[in-house]
Amino acid sequence: MIIWVAERAIAAKCVSRVLVATDDERVFGAAHRFGYEAVMTSPDHASGTDRLAEAAATIPNAEIIINVQGDEPLIAPDTIDRTVEALVADEECSISTTWEPFTSAADVINPDIVKVVFDESHRAIYFSRAPIPYPREAVRKHGSIEAALETEPALINLFCKHTGLYVYRRAALLQFASWPPSELERTESLEQLRALDQGLNIKVVQSAESSIGVDTPEDLERVRTVVERSESWVTT
């Protein structure tokens, strides 16, 4: 899976270098076997962003750093490009990330799938594992959010799924790693809340294509099914 992610990353037009940062020797070895650059990092990081910052500190000429998470094997190269372009274009933002529409009510209420809300300028307001925004009147009418989504399926359009891609300005990334995890970050287990707590602006960009983050064995099977059906898949 990590090699599939690396291949998608290097296919983006804006990417000049791919570096696999890991604390797992199996991942490190797999990257080298397939010809990708890899670096071992500390096993004590609180988040993937902290790990990224350690790796980025060794690359002084990198002003824009992209974090393509290793559990996003279907990330589209076009999504990477548009997320970089959005950050470069908005000088008041320090980070950019991505969202895509939900396609099922089950995903909306699944705490493994993160939700994001953003303002009219597409700057993040909050990220949560809970369904946000909360459709109060529909829930009061139907008794629960599950019943509301089942009875009024159009409600699903209220929600935006956060996907695992971040783009950082170098200074913001290194500063992020100097801050301790915030209370909200620890509560939700979402590292991006540390940035919001510290007042950083995060640009939220719609993905070019849908993706599947691999958080469970069931997610992995979904990805395998997609890959097997893809006409572009080539077995090596």
Average pLDDT score over residue span 34-46: 91
Backbone phi, then psi, for 31, in 5-degree steps? -60, -45
Domains of the chain in sequence order: 2-229 (3.90.550.10)
212: pLDDT strictly greater than 90: no
Average pLDDT score over residue span 112-138: 97
CA distances from 44 to 84, 166, 176 (A): 28, 21, 16
Tell me if 31 sits within 8 A of 3, measured CB to CB.
yes
Q: What is the pLDDT of residue 16?
A: 92
Average pLDDT, the chain: 90
Residue 209 CA to chain centroid, in angstroms? 13
Give the integer Cα–Cα distance in Å for 46 and 50: 7
Q: What is the pLDDT of residue 213?
A: 66
Compute the half-sphere exposure of residue 133: CA atoms within 13 Å on the CB side of its CA. 12
Give the integer Cα–Cα distance in Å for 174 and 131: 31
Q: What is the pLDDT of residue 228?
A: 67
For residue 233, what are its two tokens? 């898949």
Q: What is the pLDDT of residue 17?
A: 93
Q: What is the pLDDT of residue 217?
A: 75
What is the per-residue pLDDT across 136-189, written as a single tens digit (0 to 9) for each? 999 999 999 999 999 999 999 999 999 889 999 999 999 999 999 999 999 999
Q: How confident is the model at residue 46 (pLDDT cuts 50, 70, 90)?
A: confident
233: pLDDT strictly greater than 60: no
131: pLDDT strictly greater than 50: yes
